[in-house]
Structure 1
Amino acid sequence: MCTGKCSRLIGIVLFPLGLCAIICNLLLYFPNGKILATEEITDYVWYFHGIIGAGLLVFLTAFMTLGAGGEGCCANRCGMLLSVLLALLGTAGGAYCVVISAMGLVDGPLCDTGDGTYTYPFRNDTEEESYLFQQNTWDICREPENIVLWNIVLFSILLGLGAIEALLCAIQVINGLVGFLCGTCLRKRRTGIA
């Protein structure tokens, strides 16, 4: 496959992934569609890992890879080199999303356990198995309703999206380096004389 076509394909795939990451991060602010006070929302949501890391940083990479894969001013060796630099930024953004999502999954949600105060009941859990695999412990969180499932699903989706984006951006780093060293292999159409 041509490096230009590969860049274009990666750019096209990164856009919906980044949009999904932003939506998932925004949904974490509204557990079960409820508006909560700032101090009642899980700490890891405030790192903006889906909005900035897997969203905006990946959008920058997607724009540049589309430009490097097209037939415009960026479809040359210089454009490929710039796509490498932005793909490194996108890889870091995807990895950041993976790390924060994993930490959010390990620590569990912030919730009211019935006494009116919001705590992390699963943080520093000393049991052999994580709360993730013991569904019978999830009912310890009374408010917001179903917060454990809400956090597990959204943080898992963000973890997966971040991993896919980091992988695609890493592939673009390699593709961009090959395009920079060997050229983009885009052929301009000849018009007129055959």
Structure 2
Amino acid sequence: MCSFGFARSLGFALIPLATCCIVANILLFFPGGATNYVQDNHVSLFPWLFMGIGGGGIAVFLPAAVFLSMGKCASNWVTDSCAMCGSVLASLVGLAGSAYCFVVSMLGLLKGPYCFTSLGWAYPFDDDTAGSYLFDRDRWIKCIQPVNVVEWDVTLLSILVGLSVLEFIILFLQLVNGMVNAVCRPCCYKQEYSLNA
């Protein structure tokens, strides 16, 4: 069985995930679709860390491109092993990006949104223990503007957390696949050669 086909299918799976991460990160700049908050610098710190654009997006597009370019099975073990080693390195880059996206998105969820409160612009849930505001919707009214900013941030950050977990799983699968094939494929070729000799 050719492991390159498996790698290509994983590459195809990563493209929509990375695209959705980029879109979710961009939407965090525009709560409720309004553009004035980013212009007035009244947006949370977390979108500016580009966890979805750089981490879950660009850093995941790289391994996706590598996996898709692997094509059909090569004809000799040297080429196969080099291709698999390249996919392992690309997987490591993607794993780092998806892990970064996960960590920053989780921190954003725990800290809560930056919004206008009765005391001015602030992070009103910053003093909460471990994001307890997430389970108490009655406290969300602390954020006066942007309208529904808590729902907006929680939804998009949760999407980024979920997507980054899926990306991490897919990239880990290819990391294992690449390592096993880079090590085992030369042995298989040698066995085939000795059987044919």
On the 8 A contact 2:111/2:131 being kept in 1, the answer is: no
* Alpha-carbon distance, 1:25 to partner: 0.3
Are positions 1:28 and 2:31 aligned together?
no
Task: Specify whether residues 92 and 71 from structure 1 end up closer, same or farther in structure 2 by C-alpha distance, changes over 3 A only.
Answer: same
Return the alpha-carbon distance in structure 1 between the equivalents of residues 182 and 40 of structure 2.
47
- Amino acid in structure 2 at the alignment position of 1:52: G
Are positions 1:123 and 2:150 aligned together?
no
On the 8 A contact 1:68/1:76 being kept in 2, the answer is: no
- Write out the 4+ residue segments of structure 1 that deviate beyond 4 Å after TM superposition: none
Name the structure with the higher helix share.
2
Aligned residue number for residue 83 of structure 1: 87
* Alpha-carbon distance, 1:4 to partner: 1.1
1:27-106 matches, within 5 Å, as 27-35=27-35, 36=37, 37=39, 39-70=41-72, 76-106=80-110
Return the alpha-carbon distance in structure 1 between the equivalents of residues 23 and 53 of structure 2.
8
| Correspondence for 2:144 among 142, 145, 154 | 142
* Alpha-carbon distance, 1:38 to partner: 5.2
Return the alpha-carbon distance in structure 2 between the equivalents of residues 16 and 3 of structure 1.
22
On the 8 A contact 1:18/1:59 being kept in 2, the answer is: yes
Aligned residue number for residue 181 of structure 2: 179
- Amino acid in structure 1 at the alignment position of 2:128: D
Return the alpha-carbon distance in structure 1 between the equivalents of residues 50 and 71 of structure 2.
29
* Alpha-carbon distance, 1:174 to partner: 0.6
On the 8 A contact 1:53/1:92 being kept in 2, the answer is: yes
CA RMSD, 1 decimal: 2.2
- Deviations along 1:71-122, one digit per CA (max 9) or x if unpaired, are 589x72211101100101101100100000000000000000134x210000
Aligned residue number for residue 191 of structure 2: none
| TM-score, structure 2 as length reference | 0.86
- Amino acid in structure 2 at the alignment position of 1:162: S
SS in 2 for 1:42: coil
Aligned residue number for residue 192 of structure 1: none
Q: Percent same amino acid among aligned pairs?
A: 41
- Deviations along 1:15-42, one digit per CA (max 9) or x if unpaired, are 0000000000000000001111353101
| Unaligned 5+ runs, structure 2 | 189-197
Return the alpha-carbon distance in structure 2 between the equivalents of residues 57 and 67 of structure 1.
16
Aligned residue number for residue 116 of structure 2: 112
* Alpha-carbon distance, 1:69 to partner: 4.4
| TM-score, structure 1 as length reference | 0.87
SS in 1 for 2:165: helix
